[in-house]
Amino acid sequence: MILIDAALVVLALALVVATVRLVVGPTDADRALSVDFGFAVVIAAVALLAVRLDAPALLDLVLVATLVGFLSTVAFARLVAARSSS
Amino acid sequence: MNGSDSPSVPHRAVVRGRRIASFAAAYLVRFLRANYRVAREIVTPGDGLAPAIVEVPLRSRTPFEIASYMSLVSLAPGSVALALSEDRSRLAVHGMHAGDPEHFRADLRELEDQMLAAWRPVGPGRDATGDDSTRRRTT
Amino acid sequence: MTAQTVVGDAFVLVGVFLIGVAAIGLLRLPDVYNRANAVAKAASLGLVSVLLGVVVLTPGVTAVVVLLVAIALQLFTVPIAGYKIGEAAFLSGAPVAPGTHCDDLGAGYGRDGAPPTGR
């Protein structure tokens, strides 16, 4: 269990990094990328929490978040591409 | 595959299965090696990057072939497809370790060769560029 | 300490390491293209590895099926998300890092600007 606790701390730090890049990011594509990265980190954290808290119901959340993360990334990328060309 | 006129259908299936298996193995090796290389590049200090944006001519023709080729290029770290030209004949690819663009291009071409060999049906006349000229969109 | 927990912990460890590498890359790499190249895929691969570890650690058929579906979806959607981000950067003409070799891309890529040479 100590390993999963340490893993959750690492994921929290990764989320901080993603937030920094979201604020700083020189281009909008950077921001889309950091949102995508943040989604991956949150999904990993939820899966680890399901093990840590012994709550398998959280795994359904993993499945849904995978789909939502993909759709939001594609939508964000399209938005960036469309706004630049107009 | 229309197999009624040929006695060698089982043989073809074996050949095709072997090609697909060897392609999967080759891609797995390529994928793991690219992962290792990119992870090492990020972790070790110093700047070993040699990024490049190159244009590769496509020999994939059908939408399925093009989509799977772009997915395979984009799945491995270190190379990502950037844009497909409007006539679907060229692809712009970004590479992280492409100090020699010719070498990088040859590497991508090798991947495409393996993929097309695995996915096109085995048999005379349909191997290379047989029945696909009608599916190209003319501009 | 059973063999099950050892294997599961190993997968989780590898996955979290890859996500950490991706986070460092998000800070260190010089331009959007390199970041889109490395980060999206390293992070997703780390995620797949973490999910595999959870598959090993979690008892129950339902959990395993749900996680395997999630892993398959992840592997299919990763390249598409990476490509869309790269395309967005390319179409919006994001500047490349100095020292990038750049082919002379002709017209016909859906944008009429010059190639994205360093600015």
- Per-residue pLDDT reduced to its tens digit, C84-112: 888 888 888 778 777 777 776 766 676 65
Q: Alpha-carbon distance C44 to C78, whole Å?
A: 7
| Angle, helix B9-43 to helix C3-28, in steps of 10 degrees | 60
Q: What span, in angstroms and rounded, lies between the C-alpha atoms of A30 and C89?
A: 8
The type of residue at A25 is G
**Could you tell me the residue ranges of all domains in chain B?**
9-124
From first to last of its 119 residues, what are the pLDDT tens digits of chain C?
688 888 999 999 999 999 999 999 888 888 888 888 888 888 888 999 999 999 998 888 888 899 999 999 998 888 888 888 888 888 887 787 777 777 767 666 766 544 454 44
Percent composition of chain C: helix, strand, coil (DSSP 3-state, to 5): 70, 0, 30
Residues of B whose CB is below 8 A from C36: 80, 94
What's the total number of domains in chain C? 1
User: Among residues 4-33 of chain B, which lie with CB inside 8 Å of chain C?
Assistant: none
The bridge status of strand B52-57 relative to strand C101-102 is parallel
CA distance A14 to chain C (A): 5
Percentage with pLDDT > 90 across chain C:
24
Decide if pLDDT at B2 tops 70. no
Dmax over CA atoms of chain A, in Å, equals 52
The sign of the CA dihedral A19, A25, A28, A29 is: negative
Pick among C105, C111, C112, C117 to test the B interface (most B CBs inside 10 A): C105
Residues B10-69: tens digit of each pLDDT: 788 888 888 888 888 988 898 888 888 888 888 887 777 888 888 888 888 888 888 889
Question: Which residue type occupies B58?
Answer: L
Structure confidence at residue B132 (pLDDT): 44
Tell me whether chains C and B touch (3+ CB pairs under 8 A): yes
Q: What is the dihedral of CA C26, C28, C31, C35, to 10 degrees?
A: -30
Q: Does residue C105 fall inside a structural domain? A: no
Which residue segment(s) compose the domain that C64 sits in? 3-91
Shortest distance between the Cα of B47 and any Cα of chain C, in A, equals 9
CB environment B26-38: b (16+ within 10 A), e (fewer): ebeebbeebbebb
